[in-house]
Amino acid sequence: MASNANRFGQGEHVALSRILPAGVLAIVLAVVANLIVQFIGVRVVDVSPQFPALASPVPIILFTAIGVALAVVVFAVIARRSARPYALFQRVALVCLVLSLVPNVLILVNQGSTPGASTGAIVILMIMHVVAYLIVVGVLATRTRAS
């Protein structure tokens, strides 16, 4: 319990010089993890080759890298302005995660709107969002603390 309080607790100070290297690490880990999710997912679930989001690694690499980079920028802004940057970032990131799942849910509800969309393919995308969230929050929380 104490470790969670220290990880996201009051009075935590961010080493601003550690944000960029932590951000690069988060991008690399999230991209690799999502490529693994895609690799396994398309072998377990019947995914149409017409479904653009999972048809090749390019959109996975691009959208994961952009999303995590934006999260790092948000964290950097929060780190400069908040007395409790880790706790605030965790909440902001969770809200962003939920919002990022909305398009996936809409595709689930109206599967005919996206070529090749299936429940399994959308679940794979949702897992990728959660994986990226967990990695960026975890890496920034553990790699940016001031000594």
pLDDT > 70: percent of the chain: 93
User: For residues 127 and 58, is the Cβ–Cβ distance under 8 A?
Assistant: no
State the burial class of residue 27 (Cβ atoms within 10 Å of its Cβ: 0-12, 13-18, 19+): buried
What was the pLDDT predicted at 12?
A: 77
Taking only the tens place, the pLDDT of each residue in 6-47 is 454 445 799 999 999 999 999 999 999 999 999 999 999 989
